Structure 1
Amino acid sequence: MTSTTATPDTAVEPRVDRDVVNAALDGRWAELRRQSRDLFLDPDLRREPGLSMEEHRERVLGQLRKMVELGAVQRAFPESVGGQNDHGGSLARFEEVAVGDPSLQIKAGVQWGLFASAIMHLGTEHHHRTFLPGAVDLSVPGAFAMTEIGHGSDVASIGTTATYDPETEEFVLHTPFRAAWKDYLGNAALHGVAAVVFAQLITQGVNHGVHAFYTPIREVGPDGRAGALLPGVASEDDGLKGGLNGIDNGRLAFDHVRIPRTNLLNKYGDVAPDGTYSSPIASPGRRFFTMLGTLVQGRVSLSGAAAVVSKMALATAIRYGSERRQFTAADPHTEVTLLDYQRHQRRLLPLLARTYAAQFMHNDLLQRFHQVFAGETDTDADREDLETLAAASKPLATWLALETVQECREACGGAGFMAENKLTGWHSDLDVYTTFEGDNNVLLQLVGKRLLTDYGRSIARMDVAGTVRYVADRAVDMTMHRTPLRRAAQSIADFGSAARSALEIRDPAVQRELLEERVESMVAEIAERLRPARTASPEEAARLFNENQNDLIEAARAHGDLLQWEAFTEALATIKDADTRRVLTWLRDLFGLVTIERNLAWYLIHGRISNQRARTVTSYVNRLLTRLRPHALDLVEAFGYSPEHIGATIGTGVEAQRQEEARAYYRRLRASGEEPVSEKALRDAEKAASR
């Protein structure tokens, strides 16, 4: 589908081919995404408003069973349990479950993305044969018992222990103190009959670090539902939450619970009957991160799910903003459409650009995920790159979703606050996305550490001559960007030539340079400040790192912005339709320039941009908004979510009908001659007559 719109600036606006854009956005698994969206047009798989927490939980459990019946959950698993070993396609379908209900999506993620996947990726043949079928067909609802009250994202320091007893060939799971209770676990409060429990593996008096254990937690009743807790297992219900109340989150604790030795998921670490520990990975640290790395799909899927909700929120707000009218301007009889106001464009169109960038970055992430887990490119370096990319994508996408939903809510006025229009519900449900599968700031810190490591490696690989050249280049850099001479020279060059400056910032090479240089400079400065830590005491090293922690996280976030810009730019190269590519290039430029604009203080302080050029950035952003306004509706229609998929009343065209009804009424009233004269018009006429 294409659209053509004329504007005062140009005789004919470029046309946007929605199908072309949708194909680029939906990526490699486009057809699976569309099938999944359509699956959730089924009323039985959609959220039913107004349910109590208890009713919502039962409904979601029933929906999970229906998804199993429809064959909608098995795709990533081996053929032996009805799967297709299609890891990327499975996540692409999973991300669209938010169309039905985010609670359903996350409970499905607990069951198949965490519980069943841990069995598959951390277990071996015995576990695949014994435990995986029940996890996949939902005859064994399960919990993923990693997080503890006292340590959260610090998984390596969890307190739960699994001590091996060679006399009985059993592990003894134990929760030694309250802070070691497992918490916030889906399926733990009511529905789960087993759990994958993460605990410190202790054998022969040695702690070998965190490992995973398949652990039954409840009896299974005659109706197949969860029954009483097993001896030694304690559970508490987390109760009503700020969102996602279709999930029975709860706590688990273990009082010397015994499980067979063979319930250790032993792909990366095993214990022989006599208690001897062995592992194919000698380093405890590397072993720990390898085990956790196999579960990276949680972060990958949250990145994609957040983008789905951002797209649905923007589709709702921009459809509504294209129809809703408020206040008259040049024509006293015609109110202005909300999206024609510059402020409304400023609120929504940069978020639209950022959502496109986030989706394109996610497409790259999902492709890499599939290549690693399908064994196409599965080296240590590939896994490290995947983990870093996921740790960058998930924070940016989930923060963006919250910001987008809130801005869309406000942009829709009172209508946005109505539950029927979905925005408040999405905000409640997505709030915790920024926390689980790794707190966003913790994940960005991981990205920052990787940037520092890569920077250190690049310096270490230099020969003496290379190091001298690097130091000289840094000296030139400091001279060019930090002295008044450079800033003055740039200001002189910019003065009186705003058009030239605009052309420069439109240049992709200039945008890339500005975004890239910020990352490189920030990392280099942090590395320089941290250099004394290499020879300092542990206390001093910790102090130095803490003093630079915030800057490190900001550098990682800047790196994520750069990755999104690059992903958007790479996607443009795949668009063959010239008109569509032109509009998407404007959208990419908007993303790049609002990112630069958001960080103008840094560019100005560091002498990377002049005052004149800084003003040009903002003025060109405003020009881009005007150019993109005629295409805003096409750009959200290209997401592929119909009003029926989204289910927000204000996104169904009812506002356009109301507005047209009102305009028709006033037209008839004026034509009849019965329209009352306004007091203001009467007074103006009297004043004119008296002059």
Structure 2
Amino acid sequence: MPSGAARVRLESVSSGREGRLMVTHGYVDGFADLLFGARRAAAQRYGRLFGEADFDQDWWAATEEPGARAYQRYLRLLPNMSAVETVSDLRECLTLHEQSTVVDPHLGALLTVQVNLVLGTLLEQHSRTGEVANALTELLAGRAVGAYVLTEVGHGSDLNNLETTAVYDPADGGGFVLNTPTDAAIKFMPTTAAPPVAGIARFGIVFARLIIDGASQGVYPFLVWMCDADGQLRPGLTIRRMPEKPGLGMDNAMTRFDNVRVSRECLLSHTGTRIDDDGTLVSPIPRDNQVWRAISRVRVGRLCISGMAAAVARAAVSIAVRQSAQRDIASMAGGRVPLLQVPAHYAPLLEAVVDTYLATSAVEIAVDDFAAAIDSGADEQGPELTDLVSLTKYFATSTAQRVCGEVRDRLGAQGVFAHNKIVEYRALRDAAATAEGDSYVIALLAGYRRLERPGQWTQENWDALEPCEIDAPASWVKWMDARAQFLQHRVLEAYENTTGDRQARWDRVYDLALAAADAHTAHQAAVRLAERAAELPAGPRQVVENVLTLFAVRQCLAHGADLLPDGPLPKTPEPLRDMRVRLHEMLAPHLTELVAAFELETGSLRTVYDSDSYIEQCANALRHG
């Protein structure tokens, strides 16, 4: 049990009404500024927007046709969100994705396609006339939706080996003929099926290998209309909706092209690529990393998905803490005890909150670096920024997996019902881990590229480490840096001493390389959080420093074996388990404030716990059903 003072505070925060978390220390603003920085105002604005009646719902009916509901909400949202300005502002785009995902994961998933991938790609075109102008007009007016038609059933995201072809044909003013040459080239997963709302047409941004005079010029996007507003498919297209994807209402489909002709204007490229009248390819996408430059919006998409994963972690743990504030259980000493006073219950939630703070910090680092690259005109498609975003996505989606899993278990039976959102959040997390590049695979690729970096580890790094005591967060952050450097040193050493070709050598070190890259991401997130905590007054700063220390202690408990036999294990004056328990007790009085800083108090969660009493909610549903 917490100490007496902690127990009093916990009791004072567990008596909230209308599902709101009552807090007592006045630290929420500081925590929220620390988490979101300059994006906080935008998050609050979208929170108010999604708290309006257009997004209201009866929790009992919340899961009826969620895919169609997401489209209806998207069409209502479209005229109110300044879509062109939003997609052109990285921080605004990310915040929209985060906040929409909290209120409706199906809507968040839909926006990743419609706003970032489709609208973003069309706006990048040098010429927005003709076919592109028409698609933009129909999309922004809500008369059409798009699809990002990239992955193939036999190749997944192995973009260099995509087989769909677009052969240039100079006849009739010039155009392209799209074909699916093999079964392996069938487009798999893109949302090409007719929309689940009436009167909406669909076009696709289809990635295909451009062929001119029998020679491949690389993979390019093409604008292709898929179906009309009445649901009628365009000639040459075969589309079949995929079976249900439990937990997430997306209209995924398989698509085949058979001699589908599009005009010359339908070749898309952010470099202004076009076919001249004599059939010459003008301003092609540069050959270096060509296919990745062709899918230029995917990196922004990865960043948005990272934010969405962190957002569902924040929302999930918020729901769990609200539930805990309304529950009590039988005490082993007799009588009843509030659930928020039971260490076996609040300690896992505290650790979920801690992980979520670090994931949010990691996303902020990637946002700032990406925005700086845009502002400076640097190559945002380069490997350094690509790897940062990839590792952030892996870190955030892994965190969301742990947090949502923990929360589902803490909610018990309530956690299995979709109206309490955890099932949907987990489904969104699963989809996010796959979309815009499998999190595991792209993190491995980033780890592989880190083999080219020189190692920084020396024995002096270890010798210089100070004792890692419970009140020394800076020492713990330095230990996290030493751990990351040592693991990278071990990777480079193992790779150098392994024989065989590059694949054989990589196969021997891939797991260690991923561990080193993830440790680096964790350390960078901790540094950012520590820097922002230093700007807070003493009280809230101490809380955040305890958050950092608990994170580091748990990193050591979970991954310390990776450092054996000669790595930099922290020098601690007490067992790590005892330190962990003490940190739980120190942070317990601040649990609700740490969660309240997520600022999800506007009613946007709309679960059974956004009420005076979830018991009353259930009784009313039965009484008035």
Give the shorter-chain TM-score range: 0.7 to 0.9
Query: CA separation of 1:241/1:46 partners in 2, compared to 1, >3 Å: closer, same or farther?
Result: farther
Match of 1:197 in 2: 206
Match of 2:181 in 1: 176
Q: Give, in whole Å, the separation in 1 of the partners of 2:61 and 2:182.
A: 36
Structure 2 residue identity aligned to 1:45: F
**Is the CA contact (8 Å cut-off) linking 2:366 and 2:389 kept in structure 1?**
yes
Match of 2:119 in 1: 116
Deviation of 1:16 (Å): 4.2
SS at the partner of 1:285? coil
Query: CA separation of 1:144/1:655 partners in 2, compared to 1, >3 Å: closer, same or farther?
Result: closer
Q: Give, in whole Å, the separation in 2 of the partners of 1:521 and 1:206.
A: 48
**Is the CA contact (8 Å cut-off) linking 1:405 and 1:427 kept in structure 2?**
yes
The percent identity for this pair of structures is: 26
**TM-score (structure 2 length as normaliser):** 0.87
Match of 2:18 in 1: none
Q: Give, in whole Å, the separation in 2 of the partners of 1:156 and 1:28.
A: 38
Structure 1 residue identity aligned to 2:445: L
Q: Give, in whole Å, the separation in 1 of the partners of 2:57 and 2:210.
A: 41
Query: CA separation of 1:571/1:293 partners in 2, compared to 1, >3 Å: closer, same or farther?
Result: farther
Match of 1:542 in 2: 503
Structure 2 residue identity aligned to 1:38: R
Q: Give, in whole Å, the separation in 2 of the partners of 1:382 and 1:277.
A: 22
Query: CA separation of 1:177/1:48 partners in 2, compared to 1, >3 Å: closer, same or farther?
Result: farther
The answer as to 2:188 corresponding to 1:188 is no
531, 537, 550: which one pairs with 1:590?
550
SS at the partner of 1:295? helix
Match of 1:148 in 2: 152
Once the two structures are overlaid, the 10-residue window that deviates more, 133-142 or 439-448, is 133-142
Structure 2 residue identity aligned to 1:205: G
Structure 1 residue identity aligned to 2:539: D
Deviation of 1:306 (Å): 1.5
Match of 1:162 in 2: 166
Deviation of 1:36 (Å): 1.0
Match of 2:486 in 1: 521
Deviation of 1:600 (Å): 1.6
SS at the partner of 2:151? coil
The answer as to 2:253 corresponding to 1:292 is no
Q: Give, in whole Å, the separation in 2 of the partners of 1:634 and 1:654.
A: 20
**Is the CA contact (8 Å cut-off) linking 1:444 and 1:553 kept in structure 2?**
yes
Query: CA separation of 1:397/1:381 partners in 2, compared to 1, >3 Å: closer, same or farther?
Result: closer
Deviation of 1:596 (Å): 2.1
Match of 1:301 in 2: 304
Match of 1:398 in 2: 397
Deviation of 1:448 (Å): 0.8
Structure 1 residue identity aligned to 2:416: F
Match of 1:328 in 2: 331
Deviations 1:17-57 (A, max 9, x none): 21222233232122221121122223432566677999433
Deviation of 1:94 (Å): 2.6
Q: CA RMSD in A?
A: 3.1
Deviation of 1:439 (Å): 0.6
Deviation of 1:176 (Å): 0.9
Q: Give, in whole Å, the separation in 1 of the partners of 2:383 and 2:540.
A: 36
Q: Give, in whole Å, the separation in 2 of the partners of 1:53 and 1:585.
A: 40
The answer as to 2:521 corresponding to 1:579 is no
**Is the CA contact (8 Å cut-off) linking 2:192 and 2:239 kept in structure 1?**
no
Query: CA separation of 1:454/1:189 partners in 2, compared to 1, >3 Å: closer, same or farther?
Result: farther
Query: CA separation of 1:424/1:281 partners in 2, compared to 1, >3 Å: closer, same or farther?
Result: closer
Query: CA separation of 1:453/1:194 partners in 2, compared to 1, >3 Å: closer, same or farther?
Result: same
Structure 2 residue identity aligned to 1:165: D
**Is the CA contact (8 Å cut-off) linking 1:181 and 1:252 kept in structure 2?**
yes
Structure 1 residue identity aligned to 2:568: R
SS at the partner of 2:86? coil
**Is the CA contact (8 Å cut-off) linking 1:204 and 1:276 kept in structure 2?**
no
Deviation of 1:192 (Å): 5.1
SS at the partner of 1:228? coil
Match of 1:672 in 2: none
Query: CA separation of 1:264/1:561 partners in 2, compared to 1, >3 Å: closer, same or farther?
Result: same
SS at the partner of 1:234? strand
Deviation of 1:506 (Å): 4.3
**Is the CA contact (8 Å cut-off) linking 1:293 and 1:383 kept in structure 2?**
no
Deviation of 1:442 (Å): 1.1
Match of 2:517 in 1: 556
Q: Give, in whole Å, the separation in 2 of the partners of 1:528 and 1:217.
A: 52
Q: Give, in whole Å, the separation in 1 of the partners of 2:80 and 2:356.
A: 31
Match of 2:20 in 1: none
Q: How do 1:442-457 and structure 2 match up within 5 A?
A: 442-455=441-454
Deviation of 1:634 (Å): 1.3
Query: CA separation of 1:410/1:582 partners in 2, compared to 1, >3 Å: closer, same or farther?
Result: same
The answer as to 2:264 corresponding to 1:261 is yes
Q: Give, in whole Å, the separation in 2 of the partners of 1:425 and 1:286.
A: 36
Unaligned runs of 5+ residues in structure 1 are 78-84, 220-224, 460-469, 491-499, 659-691
